[in-house]
Structures are given as structure tokens and as C-alpha cells.
Amino acid sequence: MTADQPGLPGMVSAFEHEADIRSRGDDPTPRGVVRAVLEAVMWADGFERDKDSGLMRILDVCAGYGCWASEMRRLAGLQGWPVHITGVELDERKREHLAKWCDEVIIRDWFDALRDHHEPPTWDMAIGNPDFAQLLSNDVADDFGPADDPECSMPAILLGQAPAVLLLHTQQAFLKSEAGRAAWRAYPPAASWLVPGGVKFRGASHGADSRCYQVTLWLRGHTGPCSVHLLDDLTAAERSWTKLPGTEDALEAEALGLPMVGEL
């Protein structure tokens, strides 16, 4: 004789949810982290901008469900900046969400998309939370040179497309390997913002990542030094999520102050 086990359906649902996230290669940045980062960076030196500065073209690389794009669109709307956002993502299943936040959606490997789509490059800034394995040596090595060549790093490639690059990564991403240190020295960043506290990339029902994170800004032609800042403390809720950031519907977006494409 068998009996229902209390809590088992919830456990199965959680396992299925995590399996689905893993299958999509997802580690979505919590919305509170993205909002805090973008607001800090946009007031940094070199980012003074007014309504007469013209169209701001943003590239969201490895765009996921569009959290970074949605927060950039929100910030642009608050400041009265005209904005055009291109979201590049490998997973076709995320197109419907990206279309809410991005004026242009490209479903393709990020490097192939950048190499083939825009001639000449037209973006003002590249942003996002990329697959950390692609920050340094990766498949682009065949096109650019040896795998440990700094020219093969994501910051170097993106700086060829936009004069400013803002990426989330672990604090040790560029320190553990020789290739990482070489890329950091060859392309010294202008500034980094340390994220305080643990971040739950897989939602509130999961533990926080044991690693520490930062967001780094590279500016084309910058040779140093790099200023380091600590973001203001974020609440546990701001460092986590209960619904995948970027999958919000129209009513949820309105409640969060997020304008969709065509609403600015």
C-alpha cells in the first residue's frame, strides 16, 4: 500500500524547474542587482548624457530572457534618452521574452552575430551577464589567434564593436588563469563595482552562489587606472528572484516600472 508523501509534488516541481534552467544554460541575474549596477554606472564619470545626445544603441550580449535589456530600457526612459537595444541570444525559446525589451533580437552565437551582422559596428555600449566560460579563450580563438591571446577575450572583441563594455563576472574570473591576467593587463578596465552579499542566480528556492561577483566597465582606449567601488547593500530579495527576470507579463512589467518596446 502506498500513500502520497507530503511535499513530494513540490520537490518534483523544483527538480524539474532546476533541470529546465540547467538545460537552457540559465543563470539569470536578479533584477535588483542589474538595477543597482546600471544606476551606479550611468552616473559614473564619462557617462554624462542628455536628451540631445542622440539615439543610444545598446548591445545586450548573451541576453537571456532580457533582464539587462529591460532595466536599461527603464533607465533610458526615466532619463529621457532615446534608446535602441539589440539582444543576442543562442536559445530560440527566449525570443518571445526578448522581443518585449529589445528592438532587435538575434538568435545566434554571440561571436558569429557580431562578426556577420553589423558592418560597421554601430553600438554605443555592450552590457550583460555572459557565459563565464566565454569571457576568455573560447571558440573565437580559431579566428583571432592562440587561445590564450588577450585578443580572444570577450572584452577585447566587444570593444571592437562598442566604445564601452559592461559585464558581470566572478571576482576571480580574470585572476585564476594566465589567460585571464593577460587579458586584464592588455585591456585594463576603467572601473569595477563589487556586488555585496551572496547572489541567488537560480531563484529564491536555491542557495546563494558561494562566489563573489563584480561588474566591470571597459572603455575603448583606456589604459588605467581602474577605480573600484562597492555597491550599496542589497536586500536578500534584491539578490534573488521568484520569477525568471525578463519573463514578466505586461501587468507585472507595469508594476515594476518596466516599459516594453514601443512604449517609450
Mean pLDDT within 127-146: 70
* Residue 264 pLDDT exceeds 80: no
Residues forming a β-bridge with 56: 83
| CA-CA-CA-CA dihedral for 37, 39, 43, 46, to nearest 10 | 60
B/e letters for 250-264, b = 16+ CB within 10 Å, e = fewer, are eeebeeeebbbbeee
The sign of the torsion formed by the CA atoms of 213, 70, 89, 206 equals positive
pLDDT of residue 24: 45
* Listed range (4-18, 30-44, 148-162, 213-227) with the worst mean pLDDT: 4-18
Q: How far apart are CA 204 and CA 228, in angstroms?
A: 29
* Longest CA span, the chain: 74
Across the chain, what does the average pLDDT equal? 84
pLDDT tens digit sequence for 26-77: 789 999 999 999 999 886 655 556 566 689 999 999 999 999 999 999 999 9
Q: How far apart are CA 202 and CA 27, in angstroms?
A: 6
pLDDT tens digit sequence for 80-101: 889 999 999 999 999 999 999 9
C-alpha distances in Å from residue 195, one per residue of 34, 207, 238? 10, 17, 11
All structural domains of the chain: 26-255 (3.40.50.150)
* Residue 7 pLDDT exceeds 50: no
Report which DSSP code applies to 122. -
